[in-house]
Amino acid sequence: MPHKRSKRSVRESEKQKKGHNLAPSDASLGSSYVDDTPKGAARIFNSLKVRQDYHDKKKSQAAAAAAGAADKKGKRRQDPAAAGKNANGLPKIIPGESLGDYNRRLEDHMRPAVTQAMRDANAKRAEEERKLASEKKARREAQKEAKRRKDAGLPKPDKEEAAVVAADEERGVGGREASGKRGRDEEASGSDTEGQTPKRGKTEFDKAPQRHSILDVMTAPPVLPKLKKQKKAAPSSIFAPIGRNPFNAGQQRILEEERERVVARYRELKEKQRFDKERETESLKTKKR
């Protein structure tokens, strides 16, 4: 074993091989050894080594510059694997890196893409929900309009007229004004054409096919919409924020007794202070006399 001391015979043979009266080595001297060679002499002794190192450095720099120029001239793309990434663009595991560190680094690398994908999905889902809500609202409005026409005894509107009225309502124009304007335009266009009888379209101003008595409306019972039941406001107390009393009956009785005792004690102290103050004022008046 290297940490065990060898036998005496082996040590003697090694000593004979090395010889006697040798100069001390750097390992034996350790870090406390200080070279006392003058700097000028050291520069002369090491001049050949310094020059050789300088020439080697210049050659390596020239070779690197030539390789870079060749890559730029040929427009060769760098291999993704050489840049520390796989063919898919994901970073590779570094030699000596643990699997947990690599997984965390990979998650940090892919986090922006995952976040963007989640945002796009949420935006798409919100757009679909908004579209469904608008369609549901349009169907509800159409049902209300159909029920109103049925109750009033009006005929069903044509598809073209309903589309025009809906477009006018979206622009903020009333349905009656739009239908009246459309009827006037049709009359004007019909009067311009010769040999053709003007054809008046169906408008909102036409009379209802059925007549209703005013008594039907007057004697009709009122219709009240279903109102939301409001929760009755609880009596104001110190437990209003939490909505319930956290104490049971026994604890509540003890608290009430303690409260009455404290209030009585407070009133006694106030009465005593008032009495002492009155006595002090009386004594001051007597002294002045």
List pLDDT tens digits, range 199-225.
Answer: 555 556 666 656 666 666 555 666 776
Is position 178 within any domain?
yes
Is position 110 within any domain?
no
**pLDDT for residue 58 is more than 70:** yes
Is position 11 within any domain?
no
**pLDDT for residue 175 is more than 50:** no
| pLDDT (0 to 100) of residue 142 | 87
The candidate with the shortest Cα–Cα distance to 6, out of 178, 254, 14, 127, is: 14
Is position 184 within any domain?
yes
Is position 188 within any domain?
yes
Residues 33, 37, 40, 46: what is their CA dihedral angle, to the nearest 10 degrees? -70
Q: What distance in Å separates the CA atoms of residue 199 and residue 177, rounded to the nearest whole number?
A: 19
DSSP per-residue codes, 158-191? PHHHHHHHHHHHHTT--HHHHHHHHHHHHHHHHH
Give residue 80's pLDDT band: very low, low, confident or very high (50, 70, 90): very low
**pLDDT for residue 276 is more than 80:** yes
What range defines the domain where residue 169 resides? 157-203
Amino acid letter, 53 = D
Residue 195 token pair: 């040999």
Give Rg (Cα) of the chain: 52
Is position 226 within any domain?
no
Q: What distance in Å separates the CA atoms of residue 187 and residue 197, rounded to the nearest whole number?
A: 10
Number of domains in the chain: 1
Give the Cβ contact number of residue 145 at 10 Å: 17
**Among the ranges 29-33, 96-100, 219-223, which has the highest mean pLDDT value?**
96-100
Is position 176 within any domain?
yes
- Structure-model confidence comparison of residues 193 and 120, the more confident one: 120
Inter-residue contact 187 to 198 (CB < 8 Å): yes
Using CA atoms, how far residue 33 sits from 20, 44, 95, in Å, is: 22, 22, 39
Percentages helix, strand, coil for the chain, rounded to the nearest 5? 65, 0, 35
| Mean pLDDT over each residue of the chain, to the nearest integer | 76
- The predicted model gives 102-120 an average pLDDT of 91
Whole-structure pTM value: 0.26
Is position 164 within any domain?
yes
> Which residue in this structure is represented by tokens 């919100």?
126
Q: What distance in Å separates the CA atoms of residue 276 and residue 273, rounded to the nearest whole number?
A: 5
- Sorted by sequence, the CB contacts under 8 Å of residue 237 that are 6+ apart come out as 245
Give residue 25's pLDDT band: very low, low, confident or very high (50, 70, 90): confident
- Mapped onto helix, strand or coil, the DSSP state of residue 32 is coil
